[in-house]
Amino acid sequence: MSMNGAQTLLQTLVNCDVDVCFTNPGTSEMHFLAALDQQDGMRAVLGLFEGVVTGAADGYARMAGKPACTLLHLGPGLANGLANLHNARRANSPVVNVVGEHATYHRALDAPLTSDIHGFAAPVSAWIHVSESAASVAADGAEAVRAAMSGPGQIATLILPADTAWNDADSAHAALPVAPRSAVEASRIDAAAQALISGEPCVILCNGLGVTEPGLALLGKIAKHTGAQLLGDTFIGRIERGAGRVEIPRLPYFAEQAEEVLQPFKHVILVDTKAPVSFFAYPGKASELTPVHATAHSLSVPGEDTLLALEQLVEAVGAGGAQPQFTQLALPELPSGALTPESIAQTLAALMPEQAIVVNEAATSGFALPSFTASAPPHSWLDLTGGAIGMGLPAATGAAVACPDRPVLGLQADGSGMYTVQALWTQARENLNVTTVLFSNRKYAILQVEYLRVGAVNPGRKAMDMMELTRPDLDWVALATGMGVDAVRATTAAEFNQALAVALDNDGPNLIEAVL
Ligand SMILES: Cc1ncc(C[n+]2csc(CCOP(=O)(O)OP(=O)(O)O)c2C)c(N)n1
């Protein structure tokens, strides 16, 4: 039986172990949809806005360790999904975008949806390719998956003109080998080891493979043996936390606090990350956070074999026999009284299920979460990596698709949640086990802080109005239930305790509007 280009692409993706497609299709993708329909190996999940599609692909990749594909409608569809592709790039998430395009002979006619797809894709994509014929689509698909899985995990964008999807093609392609991560040169291991045994104060700033369970255990040995301080980047794509893991503090978000934390150190050793810089520039303040009196040593950068480098570093400093300081399980009491960010953090720590996946876009309401949840049962923790808000609800959706046996806890600020609120509908449609805690402070609180920090003058009514989510208030219970997600409102700690217990007991999606 002959196959068309779309069918060979779908079969190739499945051959390459890509078995989930987050979609928002249009006319140019109808043959891809028809091929999806015939391909049992590929799950198809609809998102009602492309930011949901791309954010879900990011959350999926962080948990599955392999790419999902997205199906996006020409340039505008891709452009709608760019902010969450930016976040995915910052998380080193592998993603394969399949972007429909006008048929090859139609492109030059400048029909209304014609656009510079390559131009939209370039800033977020490590690999971009336009399939020019049905015969090449399968091989192009295999290359796209290889590109996505290369280095630390990358975004590959395959642009698929409609006729290359519908024309006859030969057969699917097999998976292509992915180059192994490159080993770190001995000189970098030596330099880090020399710093660690110098007797001078050292901090190890880590991310990526350094904050996986094995990475943290190796770092824990080094810290125990040498006295070095472990520190995580402010925002991390995925970190393993809780009982039985090595807990590490994070570099604070505000530059002056970060500077203070780094001030005591003579050496900053960088593990799967780069030298720290402040999130924004502020008038009269430094942007680079490595203290002037300190030396930065790059042990590894994203894409390198960080786990091997850490094993070698453990050997080099003689820490092989050291016992890392693993966190003991310790659950707080359930709180009572007023509902506050602290009381919510306490309830979350008390009720956190085993092996939860926490997707954190709690913004200013999340400051108490790290300390309260450090001694909770073991869990994975996913942050907003690229600062482009609207990642939380979609990423929780994708994480739940990747890990159907693990409960997902979405910790969601209201302003950020409104960017991609449609993700709730996908959670309902796919009956995903996601509990969203919606921090309803009815403002862009961080911007009110930043307004003063950057030295803007006292805000008047018009400026304040741009940072308040009132008139009207958002009704999150109505928003969620309107999309098929069970929802309740909590206004006291006791109500929240009760609501979270019920939501976690339920296998489908739930939302709790926590009114602050
Ligand atoms: C895509 C994008 N648009 C705008 C911003 C600017 N921005 C940063 S935080 C923020 C509002 C955050 O409000 P919310 O999510 O409610 O959290 P809160 O600060 O209230 O805790 C905005 C608009 C951004 N970071 N990303």
391 Cβ closer than 6 Å to some ligand 1 atom? no
412 Cβ closer than 6 Å to some ligand 1 atom? no
516 Cβ closer than 6 Å to some ligand 1 atom? no
415 Cβ closer than 6 Å to some ligand 1 atom? yes
Secondary structure letter of residue 288 according to DSSP: B
Share of the chain above pLDDT 90, in %: 97
Record the tokens describing residue 25, joined without a space.
């299709």
How far is residue 40's CA from residue 14's CA, in Å, rounded to a whole number?
A: 9
Whether residue 348 contacts residue 500, with contact meaning beta carbons closer than 8 Å, is answered with yes
447 Cβ closer than 6 Å to some ligand 1 atom? yes
444 Cβ closer than 6 Å to some ligand 1 atom? yes
At 2 the pLDDT is 85
360 Cβ closer than 6 Å to some ligand 1 atom? no
365 Cβ closer than 6 Å to some ligand 1 atom? yes
Tell me how crowded residue 50 is: count the other CB atoms within 10 A of its CB.
Answer: 27
How far is residue 476's CA from residue 83's CA, in Å, rounded to a whole number?
A: 23
- Residue 354: left if φ>0, alpha if ψ -120 to 50, beta else—which one? beta
User: Hey, whose CA ends up nearest to atom 16 of ligand 1?
Assistant: 415
Residues 6+ away with beta carbon under 8 Å from 178? 146, 149, 150
Please tell me the distance between residue 426's alpha carbon and the centre of ligand 1 in angstroms: 23
For tokens 């450090």, the residue is 374
How far is residue 143's CA from residue 149's CA, in Å, rounded to a whole number?
A: 10
Record the tokens describing residue 75, joined without a space.
């340039």
Tell me how crowded residue 404 is: count the other CB atoms within 10 A of its CB.
Answer: 12
For range 356-366, the mean pLDDT: 98
Q: How far is CA 244 from the centre of its chain?
A: 23
Share of the chain above pLDDT 70, in %: 100
User: Hey, whose CA ends up nearest to atom 14 of ligand 1?
Assistant: 415
Please tell me the distance between residue 169's alpha carbon and the centre of ligand 1 in angstroms: 46
414 Cβ closer than 6 Å to some ligand 1 atom? yes
Pocket test for ligand 1, best of 253, 444, 470 (most atoms within 8 A of CB): 444
388 Cβ closer than 6 Å to some ligand 1 atom? yes
Give the number of the atom of ligand 1 that is nearest the alpha carbon of residue 363.
21
Strand, coil or helix: what is 12? helix
Side-chain half-sphere CA neighbours of 232 within 13 A: 27
Of 164-173, 276-285, 297-306, 425-434, give the lowest mean pLDDT range: 276-285
361 Cβ closer than 6 Å to some ligand 1 atom? no
How far is residue 175's CA from residue 142's CA, in Å, rounded to a whole number?
A: 6
Q: CA–CA distance from 302 to each of 56, 181, 313, 480 (Å)?
A: 22, 9, 17, 38
Please tell me the distance between residue 446's alpha carbon and the centre of ligand 1 in angstroms: 7
How far is residue 462's CA from residue 483's CA, in Å, rounded to a whole number?
A: 33
For tokens 């402010």, the residue is 234
User: Hey, whose CA ends up nearest to atom 1 of ligand 1?
Assistant: 388
Residue 325 has pLDDT above 90, yes or no: yes
At 456 the pLDDT is 87
Please tell me the distance between residue 415's alpha carbon and the centre of ligand 1 in angstroms: 6
373 Cβ closer than 6 Å to some ligand 1 atom? no
Side-chain half-sphere CA neighbours of 19 within 13 A: 8
Q: For residue 34, which amino acid is it?
A: A
At 134 the pLDDT is 98
Record the tokens describing residue 95, joined without a space.
């993603």
The counts of H helices and E strands in the chain are 21, 19
How far is residue 7's CA from residue 5's CA, in Å, rounded to a whole number?
A: 5
86 Cβ closer than 6 Å to some ligand 1 atom? no
Residues 6+ away with beta carbon under 8 Å from 251? 205, 231, 232, 233, 234, 258, 261, 262, 276, 289
What are the strands, taking DSSP E only, across 370-509? 379-383, 408-413, 434-440, 486-490
Give the number of the atom of ligand 1 that is nearest the alpha carbon of residue 415.
16
399 Cβ closer than 6 Å to some ligand 1 atom? no
84 Cβ closer than 6 Å to some ligand 1 atom? no
Question: What rounded mean pLDDT belongs to the chain?
Answer: 97
For range 67-90, the mean pLDDT: 98
DSSP 147-163: HHHSTT--EEEEEEEHH
User: Hey, whose CA ends up nearest to atom 26 of ligand 1?
Assistant: 388
82 Cβ closer than 6 Å to some ligand 1 atom? no
For tokens 């936390």, the residue is 241
Pocket test for ligand 1, best of 361, 385, 416 (most atoms within 8 A of CB): 416
At 19 the pLDDT is 98
Give the phi and the psi of residue 22 in degrees, each rounded to 5.
-90, 125
Give the number of the atom of ligand 1 that is nearest the alpha carbon of residue 416.
15
pTM of the model: 0.98
How far is residue 82's CA from residue 68's CA, in Å, rounded to a whole number?
A: 16
**pLDDT interval class at 282 (50, 70, 90):** confident
Please tell me the distance between residue 363's alpha carbon and the centre of ligand 1 in angstroms: 8
**pLDDT interval class at 204 (50, 70, 90):** very high
Whether residue 70 contacts residue 81, with contact meaning beta carbons closer than 8 Å, is answered with yes
Give the number of the atom of ligand 1 that is nearest the alpha carbon of residue 414.
16
For tokens 């977020």, the residue is 124
At 1 the pLDDT is 67
Q: Which residues pair with 364 in a beta bridge?
A: none
What is the tens place of the pLDDT at every residue in 364-420? 999 999 999 999 999 999 999 999 999 999 999 999 999 999 999 999 999 999 999
